[in-house]
Structures are given as structure tokens and as C-alpha cells.
Amino acid sequence: MPSEKNPLAYTGRVLGTTAKAGDLQMDSSDFSIDAHGKVSLLATSVAESYAGDSGTATPASSSITIAGGSGITTTGSGSTMTVAGDNASTSAKGVASFAAAEFDVSSGAVSLTDEGIRHDFLDANYVNCKCQDHPVMSNKVGGAATGATGDENVMHLGDGIQLEQHILGAGQTLIAPVLTAVGLDVGADQADNEGMELCGGILASNRLSFTAQTDACFVEVVVKLEDASGVDPFYVGFRKQEAYQAAIGSYTDYFVLGVEGTANPNKIQFQTNLNGGGAATTDSTDTWADAAQKTIRVNVSAGGVATGLIDAASPTTEPSTFTFDSGDVLTPFIYFLNGTDLAGKVEISSFKCGLQ
């Protein structure tokens, strides 16, 4: 029976639960009980404060707030608290990724690639033409630009950029490329087997001159073809500096990538010639449809090895290894002729060239 000294003296013991009172057993690693029966939580069993990089947080009423800071968002759901970084912007700090073409990241260390540096400020051999201005034309030997077969003109594109123009076929009345909403239209007179070559010049002193097996260089052209089946051909690449030739196959050393044929979609192929051994073609098995815009790039390594890219990707099929001879002075060039179907607009929206 209960008494004043022992009010819980019953003949039977009842174990307590979360729903009813009764006898309880305390885990000594979490609780302490003094001589008067007072139960206390041990300090080691519950966090009484939380230390941060700066300052300390003390829970109030058994709760604590995990607040996001600059570039950080916290989200609670059930028993999970998620801490996530916000994407950075030009006006806010946050998590950012790095463009692979402009940055290298290794073990957390970030460095600029060559493409990430403004070469036009640092490298006299680098040009980046957006083709957004009317070109200024003149004849290479002075006076107004002329369009007879084999004539050579100079095309000034602004920002100190200039290319030479060699007239191909029976001659041109539309000598200067026409500025369109897309870029510079080099389609010219729209007559079969007529067109032009544009290049960096044929003298070693020209700005866009590179030495094979010494300079790692590239040329990249973004172009839109209105009628791909009427382009026969449109090539981008490098050739050894020598006097202008009417037929591309007459150059002794070159490596180009582009379109040639009469199909729609038209085939994209490589054409090469080494030491006058004869023109060789390799069908990439990739194609170019009417009104499509593509980026054609040719790289020449410091070892003289030439390779091509279509829209920043390697073509499906590539030629066997092609290496320019040591000491050859190279110039970038574009070689274009209309086919029987006629090309329509051939709009160049970007021309880049320089050291890799």
C-alpha cells in the first residue's frame, strides 16, 4: 500500500510508456538522477551550442535555424536539411562552371587556355572578324578593285584586318562581298565555275603567315550556304605561300576541309596535296544541307600535322596523317567556286585565324 514515505509502494510494478505513467529505466549514458530523484540530460547527449566559422549558435526551445548565405540556399524536408549552392550570375556570387574552350581546371586549380586569352590584344598574328561591316576594297597594286580573271585585290575588314582576294573563273562584276543580316556574302556573280579565293597573303611578311613545324596555328570560318548543291567547292584551310593559281589542285601543298559536289545535302570532304604529289580527297561522310550554317576549322600543330573540325567535332571519317614540311610558310585561305546549280548566298559571319 502507498504511504507518506513511499507513495509508489504498490504490490505490482507497471512499466511506463509514451502513453501512460509507470516505472522508467534511464540510460546512464544520456541521463543523470540525483539523490532526490531529479532527472537531467547529460551535456554529452545533446548539442547545447553550434560553432560556426565565425560565432556560435545556441538552440532555443530545442530548435536551430540553418540559414543560407550569399550564394547558398538551405531547404528542409522531413528529417533532411539540404544545403545547395546557387548559380552565379554577373551580379551575384554563387556556383560557377568554366567554359572548356577558355579555361583548364585541374584539382581545383583554374588556368586560362590559349583561346581564353584575347589574342587580338596580345598576338599580332591573331584576327577575329565578326563580318559586320562593309569591306573596303582596293586593287593590290593600287587604285580601285578590279574583277578580271586572276586579278588580285585587298579587302579591308576593320580593326586592322585585311585579306587578299584572287578572282577565279571568267571574271567578276560583283567584286566586293555584300553585307547581309547574316554576314559577308561572297557568292559573287552566280555563274558556273566563277568565284574567288580569300587568303592571308602570299608574302612571308604578311600578318597571317605561319611557319610549319614551328607555329601551332588555326583558321576557323562560320558560313551559311543558301544552296549547298550549288557550291563546287567551298574549302577552308592552309596552303603553302606561293603565287595564286586558278585551280586549287595546282597548289603544291595544302590541307582543306569543306563542301564539293552537286548533291543536296552535299558532301563535306577533305582535299590535300603534299609536295605537288597530286590532289587527294577524303569523304568525311558528313553532309551539308541547303540553308545550313556550319563552323569549319583547320588546325596545324606545332609539329606540322593538320586536322579538321566540323562544328567543333571531329568528322566521321578523316584522312591519313598529313604533315606540312618543316619551314613551309603557310597562309590561311578560303577557296570558292559556284557549281552548275549556283550557290546563292554564301554568307561568312565569322573569320578567325591565329596561333593556337
CB atoms within 10 A of CB 302: 13
Q: Which CATH class is domain 120-355?
A: mainly beta
Q: Nearest 5 degrees, angle CA 101-CA 107-CA 111?
A: 40
pLDDT 10s digits, 184-231:
999 999 999 999 999 999 988 888 999 999 999 999 999 999 999 999
pLDDT at 330 exceeding the cut of 90: yes
Task: Show the cell assigned to 1.
Answer: 500500500
pLDDT at 316 exceeding the cut of 80: yes
Kindly list the domain boundaries of the chain, sorted by start residue.
120-355
The confidence score (pLDDT) of residue 120 equals 47
Task: Show the cell assigned to 146.
Answer: 578590279
pLDDT 10s digits, 138-196:
999 999 999 999 999 999 987 778 999 999 999 999 999 999 999 999 999 999 999 99
Name residue, grid cell 501512460: 20
Please tell me whether residue 43 adopts helix, strand or coil conformation.
helix
pLDDT at 24 exceeding the cut of 80: no
